[in-house]
């Protein structure tokens, strides 16, 4: 089981101004795997991630998680699934400015069905795990860019998702913190048997992936890789 993408297509516009961004994407990510997606700017990586996350419609093809072709379910059910089963990490933290750090996570837990008490306990654990135990009651405006992104990363784990979708999640972090975060993301995915798909340009992080896909001209290619050296076909 896991994530399966079959012949996924996406076009923008119609007629003479139609642009086909995805021309038939096939990807498989098994439970417990972290897969990295790379490619040139404008190649459609974020478009692909948005479709997988149910944030953007597709033109054709199928996307299934653990055997369920979830993009065809009703909007209310899809919204519930995004909240309970998918964790999103974006390049920008998108923190709510009037909420304290701990409340940023607690709110997600409550929306996913946790009690307020259990959500707060889990939020504290996650924030302490990533070195932000001293920032629990701080507001976003006093956080550094790196601290904001660490909050956003832990927020994605609040609902214990079956799938993590990350778009350049370490872009605002220094090298040491980026490595720590990547290890945490990878280890959580493996321990919880989740599915992880990440966009990143940072080649230093490629070694943490189980597999690497390159998106080019609307298609993806699977690249050969070992843990010490990446070998590109």
We report the CATH number of the domain holding residue 59 as 3.40.50.300
Q: Is residue 20 part of a domain?
A: yes
Residue 66 makes CB contacts below 8 A (sequence gap 6+) with 1, 2, 31, 162
Q: Is residue 232 part of a domain?
A: no
Positive or negative CA dihedral for 98, 100, 101, 104?
A: negative
Q: Is residue 106 part of a domain?
A: yes
Structural contact between residues 79 and 121, judged by C-beta atoms closer than 8 angstroms: no
Distance CA 216, CA 69 (A): 25
Distance CA 148, CA 25 (A): 33
Using alpha carbons only, what angle is made at residue 174 by residues 171 and 180, rounded to the nearest 5 degrees?
Answer: 90
Tokens of 196: 């992880």
Per-residue pLDDT of the chain (233 residues; tens, 9 = 90+): 899 999 999 999 887 788 899 999 999 999 999 999 999 888 899 999 999 999 999 999 999 999 989 998 898 899 888 888 999 998 888 899 999 999 999 999 998 889 999 999 999 999 998 889 999 999 999 998 888 988 998 999 998 899 999 998 888 788 888 888 888 889 889 988 999 999 998 888 999 999 999 999 899 987 655 444 443 33
Distance CA 38, CA 15 (A): 30
Confirm whether pTM is higher than 0.85.
yes
Q: Is residue 233 part of a domain?
A: no
* Residue-level pLDDT at 178: 84
DSSP 43: S
Distance CA 162, CA 145 (A): 27
Number of domains in the chain: 1
Q: Is residue 231 part of a domain?
A: no
* 38 closest CA partner among 200, 223, 217, 173: 200
Instruction: Residue 131: count other Cβ atoms within 10 Å of its Cβ.
Output: 12
Q: Is residue 103 part of a domain?
A: yes
* Residue-level pLDDT at 50: 94
DSSP 71: G
Residue 215 makes CB contacts below 8 A (sequence gap 6+) with 25, 37, 38, 39, 43, 44, 45, 48
Q: Is residue 145 part of a domain?
A: yes
Q: Is residue 230 part of a domain?
A: no
DSSP 225: B
* Residue-level pLDDT at 143: 93
Question: What angle in degrees, to the nearest 10, is found between the helix axes of 145-156 and 175-191?
Answer: 0
Question: Which range of residues forms the domain containing residue 110?
Answer: 2-223
DSSP helix/strand/coil, 141 = helix
Distance CA 100, CA 98 (A): 7
């Amino acid at each position: 089981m896991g994530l399966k993408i079959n012949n996924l297509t996406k076009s923008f516009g119609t007629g003479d101004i139609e642009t086909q961004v995805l021309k038939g994407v096939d990807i498989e990510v098994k439970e417990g795997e972290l897969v990295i997606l790379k490619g040139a700017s404008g190649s459609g990586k974020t478009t692909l991630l948005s479709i997988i996350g149910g944030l953007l419609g597709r033109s054709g093809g199928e996307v299934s998680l653990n055997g369920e072709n979830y993009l065809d379910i009703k909007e209310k059910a899809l919204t519930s699934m995004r909240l309970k089963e998918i964790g999103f990490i974006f390049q920008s933290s998108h923190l709510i400015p009037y909420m304290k750090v701990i409340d940023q996570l607690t709110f997600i837990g409550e929306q996913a069905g946790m009690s307020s008490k259990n959500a707060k306990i889990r939020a504290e654990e996650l924030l302490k795990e990533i070195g932000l135990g001293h920032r629990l009651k701080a507001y976003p405006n006093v956080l550094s860019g790196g601290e904001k992104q660490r909050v956003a990363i832990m927020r994605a784990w609040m609902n214990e998702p079956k799938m993590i979708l990350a778009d350049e999640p370490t872009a605002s972090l220094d090298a040491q913190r980026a490595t720590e975060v990547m290890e945490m993301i990878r280890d959580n995915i493996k321990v919880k048997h989740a599915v992880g798909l990440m966009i990143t340009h940072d080649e230093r992080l490629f070694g943490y992936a189980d597999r690497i896909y390159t998106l080019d001209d609307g298609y993806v290619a699977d690249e050969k890789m070992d843990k010490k050296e990446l070998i590109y076909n």
